[in-house]
Structure 1
Amino acid sequence: MRKLILGLAILIGLAVVVDFGAAAYSEYRVSRALREGGELSSDPEVTIHGFPFITQAIDGKYKNIEIRAQGVRADLISNTTLEATLNGVSIPASDLIEGKVHKVPVDHIGGRLKIDATELGQLLGIPDLQVSASPADKSDGTGGSGGSGMTTTGGGVVLTGTVTIGPFTQKVSVKADLVLDGNQVKIAASDFYTGGDGGIDVAVPEQLKATVLGLFDRYIDTRQLPFGVVPTKVSAQGSQIVIEGEGDNVTIDIDQLQRP
Structure 2
Amino acid sequence: MLVIALFGGLVTVDTVRAAHSERRLATALLASPRITYEPEVTLGGFPFSTYARRGDFPGLVITARGVAIAGPADLRDVPQTCATTRCYAEIGIRAASVRASTADRWHGGSPIEVTGVDAYAKLNSVNLGRLLDITDLAVNTPAPTNKAGGGGPGDGLLERTSGVLLTGTVSLPPRRPSPRTDGRYPPSAHEFAGTHAKVSVTVDLSVVEGDLVIVATGFYLGPEEHADGTVPAEFERAVLARFSARVPYPRLPWGIPPTTANSAGSDIVISGTAPAMTVAPDQF
Task: Quickly name the TM-score band, shorter chain normalised.
Answer: 0.7 to 0.9
Higher-strand-fraction structure: 1
The CA RMSD measured in Å over matched residues stands at 2.6
> Which residue of structure 1 aligns with residue 125 of structure 2?
117
> Which residue of structure 2 aligns with residue 3 of structure 1?
none
> Among 73, 85, 91, which residue is 1:82 paired with?
91
The residue matched to 2:104 in structure 1 has which SS? helix
The residue matched to 2:144 in structure 1 has which SS? helix
Whether the 8 Å contact between 2:213 and 2:245 is mirrored in structure 1 is: yes
> Among 240, 244, 247, which residue is 1:217 paired with?
244
> Which residue of structure 2 aligns with residue 64 of structure 1?
59
List per-residue Cα deviations over 1:3-25 (Å, max 9, x = no partner).
Answer: xxx44333322221111111010
List per-residue Cα deviations over 1:57-96 (Å, max 9, x = no partner).
Answer: 1111111011111111234362212221122211123x63
> Which residue of structure 2 aligns with residue 18 of structure 1?
13
Shift of residue 215, structure 1, vs aligned partner: 0.7
> Which residue of structure 2 aligns with residue 204 of structure 1?
231
Structure-1-length-normalised TM-score = 0.85
CA distance in 1, matches of 2:105, 2:159: 43
2:177 is equivalent to residue 163 of structure 1:
no
The residue matched to 1:143 in structure 2 has which SS? coil
Shift of residue 240, structure 1, vs aligned partner: 0.8
CA distance in 1, matches of 2:106, 2:92: 25
Shift of residue 233, structure 1, vs aligned partner: 2.5
> Which residue of structure 1 aligns with residue 76 of structure 2?
none
Which structure 2 residue ranges, 5 or more long, are not aligned?
72-81, 174-193
Shift of residue 151, structure 1, vs aligned partner: 2.5
2:138 is equivalent to residue 130 of structure 1:
yes
1:87-102, aligned counterparts within 5 Å? 87-93=96-102, 96-97=104-105, 99=107, 102=110
The residue matched to 1:201 in structure 2 has which SS? coil
Structure-2-length-normalised TM-score = 0.78
CA distance in 1, matches of 2:218, 2:57: 48
CA distance in 2, matches of 1:228, 1:99: 19
> Which residue of structure 2 aligns with residue 181 of structure 1?
208
> Which residue of structure 2 aligns with residue 34 of structure 1?
29
Once structures 1 and 2 are overlaid, which stretch shifts more, 207-216 or 189-198?
Answer: 189-198
Say how many residue pairs are matched: 249
Change (3 A) 1:152 1:100: closer
CA distance in 2, matches of 1:128, 1:98: 42
> Which residue of structure 1 aligns with residue 49 of structure 2?
54
Whether the 8 Å contact between 2:169 and 2:198 is mirrored in structure 1 is: yes
> Among 81, 90, 115, which residue is 1:107 paired with?
115
CA distance in 2, matches of 1:98, 1:189: 45
Change (3 A) 1:235 1:73: same
CA distance in 1, matches of 2:156, 2:90: 18
The letter of the residue matching 2:197 is Q
Whether the 8 Å contact between 1:157 and 1:177 is mirrored in structure 2 is: yes
